[in-house]
Amino acid sequence: MGVKEFKLPDVGEGVAEGELVSWLVEPGDTVTEDQAVAEVETDKALVEVPSPYNGTVKELLAEEGEIVPVGDVIITFEVEGEGDEAADEERASAEMEAQESEADERETGDEAVGEGDGEAVAGESAEKSADRKAETPKGRVFAAPSARRLARELNVDIQSVDGSGPGGRVTDADVQTAANGRMDSDVEGSDSGPRETAIGEKKSAVSRRDDGESVDGSAASVEAAGRDRTLAAPATRRMAEEESINIDDVPTDETRDGQAFVTPEAVTQYAQAQREAREAEVQADAEAAEASEAEGASATDATEDGVAERIPYRGVRRTIGQQMEKSLYTAPHVTHHDTTVVDELVDVRAEYKELAAERDVKLTYMPFVMKAIVAGLREHPILNSTLDESDPENAEILVKDEYNIGIAVATDAGLMVPVVKNVDKKSILQLSREVNDLASRARERKVTREEMQGGTFTITNFGAIGGEYATPIINYPETAILGLGGIEKRPVVDGDDVVATETLPLSLSIDHRVIDGADAAAFTNTVMEYLRNPKLLLLE
């Protein structure tokens, strides 16, 4: 009787965690293999998790409702019978990384040997391993680091490899042979089929690969052989099926009893050649399309399942995502939109742009907007606040007396928000210089963490890329964020006339728990007033 752990498997494609919705068994229950033991809900589906063992439930290690990462042990079983154990362990560990399972097995040292179908490899390995131990004390294996690495790459337990080098040293070739031999054994052990021949053929396949013929011959081997009848071991047929290959199409020079005989290597080579051919075709198509059209169909159009690329959702991208999620699901967002005429602002900026350039400053609209925002915040301090929920029972609104404005900057690594401190105490030129410096360093990822902290209000300038209105997500725990559209001439009603006038669209998102819509509108009006009459900024 042994205790077996069961780790939450990857229940869907690439799912990292799941909610354990309900247990279908209790400790002490007898379960059979494939019997559902739990229901797990991922963002994709509600699925039943089957038991990998025949045995008794020992312990449930997760609560209902708990989010469990894939790979965490959720249940333990008491199981009987060695043969079962080995088979079950194999299945259970199928979800785990090969390395990990190998390490576990080495540690526990009680698996691997089994009976029944498909156990030839394990049996053989154990036997060799035992021999090895008898030869070298403490199971020490003499092999160069390069041979050890090769063994890990090929998932070969180096302890089980017979060394052919001086004194029995394990060489690269020994490892390679062991890896190939394992495939042979798989073939041999899987069914009655042409077992002897399968083993016999292995070596010729290896030598072909070593000679490099398979690559050179790929064009030829892509051509389907189109035979009526092909001999192959069941494992080879299964391999072909998995690769979606018709075994009758796999080219081979081998024959058995006058019939064409296909080895696993031949299948692998044919599959590889086909893949390469497909890729080459796709590449050629894409290039042709690109040549003929300005914006041709991309190579991605032909990618399987319509997925062009799988990008891991992690690192900075995930942090941004999590912050967005937290902000949006914590703070009820309301977005207030408005547009202001900025003819004078455009004139003022144009007038002083050259003067600023003489002082090596590239004058943008941003410092003017920042000053206008400070004016707005002074009149409506509630927008210059954060919500301190660190103690949920006694949450507080902290109204700030500093005017530190964060500027969202798009960088290759995602959006960064460097903060310009004490905006109220700086001149337009100072602000311009600082914004330019922070933005360029943010793009180069040279902005320090300190420079991204301490903000009280944030601006996001989506208009720089294009667009009028948007719904900015608040830089939580701040309570407001102003989005700027692009400044351009738009039709404006002036008396009874429609005139083309420079306008700036504004989108202000607020945390409605802290700020009312009326405050938002009043703040926006103040900001717009200053932007309409930039001379007012002199008073700031």
Partner 1 sequence: MVVGDISTGTDVLVIGGGPGGYVAAIRAAQRGLDTTLVEKDDYGGVCLNRGCVPSKALITGADLAHEASHAEEMGIHADPAVDMAQMVDWKDGIVDRLTGGVEKLCKANGVNLVKGTATFKDENSVRVAHGGEGQGSESIEFDSCVVATGSRTIQIPNFDYADDPVIGSKEALDMDSIPERLVVVGAGYIGMELSTVFAKLGTDVTVVEMLDDVLPTYEDDISTVVKRRAKDLGVDFQFGEGASEWRESSDGGITVVTETEDGEESTYPADKVLVAVGRSPVTDTLGLDAIGLEPNERGFLETDDYARTEIDHIFAVGDVAGEPMLAHKAFKEGIVAAEVIAGEPAALDYQAVPAAVFTDPEIATVGMTEAEAEEAGFTPVVGQMPFNASGRAMTTGHTEGFCRLVADEDSGFILGGQIVGPEASELIAEVALAVEMGATLEDVAATIHTHPTLAEVVQEAAENAEGQAIHTLNR
Which residues of the chain form contacts with partner 1 (CB under 8 A)? Answer: 71, 99-100, 103, 136-138, 140, 142-145, 148-149, 152-153, 165-170, 314-320, 322-324, 406, 408, 413-417, 419, 445, 449-450, 452-455, 458, 460, 462, 472-473, 475-476, 478, 481
d(CA 370, CA 436): 13
Q: Minimum Å distance from CB 329 to partner 1?
A: 15
Choose among 532, 490, 535, 482: nearest CA to 341: 532
d(CA 531, CA 446): 32
Choose among 94, 131, 120, 237: nearest CA to 182: 120
Q: Minimum Å distance from CB 248 to partner 1?
A: 36
Active-site residue among 336, 337, 380, 512?
Answer: 512
Q: Minimum Å distance from CB 256 to partner 1?
A: 36
- Residue number with CB closer to partner 1 (30 or 322): 322
Q: Minimum Å distance from CB 207 to partner 1?
A: 26
Q: Minimum Å distance from CB 417 to partner 1?
A: 4
- Residue number with CB closer to partner 1 (149 or 443): 149
- Residue number with CB closer to partner 1 (165 or 381): 165
d(CA 352, CA 363): 8
CB 282 within 8 A of CB 254: no
Strand partners, 399: 385
Q: Minimum Å distance from CB 274 to partner 1?
A: 26
Q: Minimum Å distance from CB 286 to partner 1?
A: 25
d(CA 420, CA 404): 6
- Residue number with CB closer to partner 1 (277 or 452): 452
- Residue number with CB closer to partner 1 (68 or 79): 68
With the CA atoms of 116, 121, 122 and 125 taken in that order, what torsion angle do they form, in degrees rounded to the nearest 10?
A: 150
Q: Minimum Å distance from CB 487 to partner 1?
A: 19
Q: Minimum Å distance from CB 65 to partner 1?
A: 19
d(CA 490, CA 298): 36
3-state SS track over 84-131: HHHHHHHHHHCCCCHHHHHHHHHHHCCCCCCCCCCCHHHHHHHHHHHH
- Residue number with CB closer to partner 1 (286 or 316): 316
d(CA 540, CA 524): 17
- Residue number with CB closer to partner 1 (20 or 346): 20
The two three-digit tokens of residue 374, written as one number: 């400070």
- Residue number with CB closer to partner 1 (449 or 535): 449
d(CA 170, CA 150): 11
CB 69 within 8 A of CB 16: yes
C-beta atoms surrounding 19 within 10 Å: 17
C-beta atoms surrounding 35 within 10 Å: 15
Catalytic residue check, 512: yes
3-state SS track over 293-351: CCCCCCHHHHCHHHCCCCCCCCHHHHHHHHHHHHHHHHCCEEEEEEEEECHHHHHHHHH
Choose among 471, 484, 507: nearest CA to 324: 471
d(CA 502, CA 348): 13
C-beta atoms surrounding 485 within 10 Å: 22
- Residue number with CB closer to partner 1 (25 or 442): 442
d(CA 452, CA 58): 50
Strand partners, 483: 460, 507
d(CA 381, CA 199): 82
- Residue number with CB closer to partner 1 (283 or 319): 319
**How buried is 4 (Cβ within 10 angstroms: 0-12 exposed, 13-18 middle, 19+ buried)?**
buried
Q: Cα dihedral sign for 78, 83, 88, 94? A: positive
Strand partners, 60: 75
Q: Minimum Å distance from CB 420 to partner 1?
A: 12
The two three-digit tokens of residue 254, written as one number: 């081998």
Active site residues: 512
